[in-house]
Amino acid sequence: MKRCRNRLYTFGGDHMSEKSKVYFADFRCFPMRENLPQRLARLIMTAGFGSIDMDNKYVVIKMHFGEPGNQAYLRPNWARVVADLVKDQGGKPFLTDCNTLYVGGRKNALDHIESAYQNGFNPYNTGCHILIADGLKGSDDVEVPVSGGEYVKTVKIGRAVMDADVFVSLTHFKGHEQAGMGGTLKNIGMGCGSRAGKMEMHSSGKPVVKREKCVGCRACAIICAHGAPQFDEEGKADIDINQCAGCGRCLTICPKDAIAARNDAAPAILNKKMAEYSKAVVNGRPCFHISLVIDVSPHCDCHSENDVPLVPNVGMFASFDPVALDQACADAVVAQPALPGSMLFDEACACNKGDHFKRSHPNSDWNVCLEHAEKLGLGRRAYKLVRI
């Protein structure tokens, strides 16, 4: 059980019978009183952020910088609030995310940082620097054990995430086409996984070659320690899954992005693996979590576009418990009517309510992730909402 200035940061035993506190503030602001950054800072400090010992500590702030073209991601102004509070407490903050599996603006560290700069994430706006946690090609990761893991016993986490002394998540709460919703556990679990880790969550762990893209350069064969890449008479590669160890190194080395994850994990398995990855990330060190229910897009910020928000903006939430935080945010979204013009709005329906995430992505159930996370002792779904 880890303590920091008399505050508990792990959950289990007798404490599991208690409700976790989730702090909430809406987006209402009045002239000459308090602006939104000041309101977020007050929320965070009221929730207990100031009780964490950050003096001369490295503090990682995990967030999503937004795929170029997407306009729903959290703006750098929000990150500045958190970074400034960390520095006020003597900490050394940095923003981070890990590289993506897919081809886009964030598949390697150079493109990732350039994309972040395009979206306004520079030291002058955020008050701190960016480090891409899994390195240049997404292969700089650390094997971390999962206490109580059922689907993975060890996970592959970006090294910079695990090198930090204190972990803070800053989440844009939204929908997600595979997980159902993209909340705090999605931000932590999927977001902190290296490229190999993301492949492990999305698939059975065995990559596949897109034959039309393969140029027969054999870079995959050079990097593979198990002889899994095989080549036909045209020089095109294929992966022998009986030889493949699922390390994902071939994904990072392929110059044509011809190797990809199979995406064959069922949504329920994906959600459970995300919970186990999250457990490994936060276990054994001080953590704090912030989630903004704003611009609730139906899809992930990894898309290079964003649709009309599903519901009106709700507010900002903060807690030491990531499970309770996700539950509170989900409850808040479900309680809202669908926005006119959104993919869920039906002019013939008077209520336009319901579980908006399940309506958006009927093949996914976001509850699975929270249920599994609670089972792992990552937190509790029962919460008490404290309004400020």
- Is residue 189 scored above 70 in pLDDT? yes
Whether residue 209 contacts residue 259, with contact meaning beta carbons closer than 8 Å, is answered with: yes
Longest dimension (CA), the chain: 73
Question: Which H or E run contains 368?
Answer: helix 367-375
Q: Are 238 and 209 in contact (CB under 8 A)?
A: yes
Average pLDDT of the residues of the chain: 90
| Neighbour tally for 350: CB within 10 Å | 8
pLDDT at 341 over 60: yes
Whether residue 133 contacts residue 109, with contact meaning beta carbons closer than 8 Å, is answered with no
pTM of the entire structure? 0.85
Any idea what the Cα angle at residue 328 is, between residues 326 and 331, rounded to 5°? 105
CA dihedral (73, 157, 113, 139) positive or negative: negative
- Range list of β-strands (E), the chain: 3-4, 7-8, 20-25, 58-62, 92-97, 129-132, 141-145, 154-158, 166-172, 174-176, 180-182, 207-209, 229-231, 237-239, 259-261, 287-293, 315-319, 383-387
Identify the pLDDT of residue 91: 98
The whole-number average pLDDT for the span 324-330 is: 98
Residue 314 reports pLDDT greater than 50: yes
Angle between helices 184-192 and 195-202 (to 10 degrees): 120
C-alpha span between 241 and 224 (Å, rounded): 12
CA 357 to chain centre: 17
Give the Cα separation of 241 and 48 in Å (integer): 48
Q: In what order do the strands lie in the sheet with 129-132?
A: 129-132, 92-97, 58-62, 166-172, 287-293, 315-319, 20-25, 383-387
253-293 pLDDT, tens digit each: 888 989 887 655 678 888 999 999 999 999 999 999 999 99
User: What's the pLDDT at 204?
Assistant: 61
The single-letter DSSP state of residue 14 is G
Question: Radius of gyration over alpha carbons of the chain, in Å?
Answer: 21
CA 4 to chain centre: 25
Mean pLDDT, to the nearest integer, of 68-85?
Answer: 97
Torsion of CA 366, 356, 289, 3, to 10 degrees: -50
**7 pLDDT band (50/70/90 cuts)?**
very low
As a whole number of Å, the end-to-end CA separation of the chain is: 29
Per the CB < 8 A criterion, the answer to whether 276 and 265 are in contact is no
Per-residue confidence at 83, pLDDT binned at 50, 70, 90? very high
Residues above pLDDT 70, as percent of the chain = 91
pLDDT for residue 61: 98
Q: At what angle do helices 267-282 and 367-375 cross, to 10 degrees?
A: 40
Residues 6 or more apart from 257 whose CB is under 8 A from it?
103, 107, 210, 213
Q: Quick one: pLDDT at residue 311?
A: 96
Give the helix, strand, coil percentages of the chain, each rounded to 5.
30, 20, 50
125 pLDDT higher than 70: yes
d(CA 26, CA 35): 12
> What's the pLDDT tens digit per position in 199-252?
888 776 578 899 999 999 999 999 887 899 999 999 999 999 888 866 667 876
**By the 8 A CB rule, do 216 and 247 touch?**
no
Q: Which pair of structure tokens corresponds to residue 10? A: 């792990």
For residue 11, what pLDDT is reported? 37
SS3 248: coil
* Per-residue confidence (pLDDT) for residue 102, from 0 to 100: 72
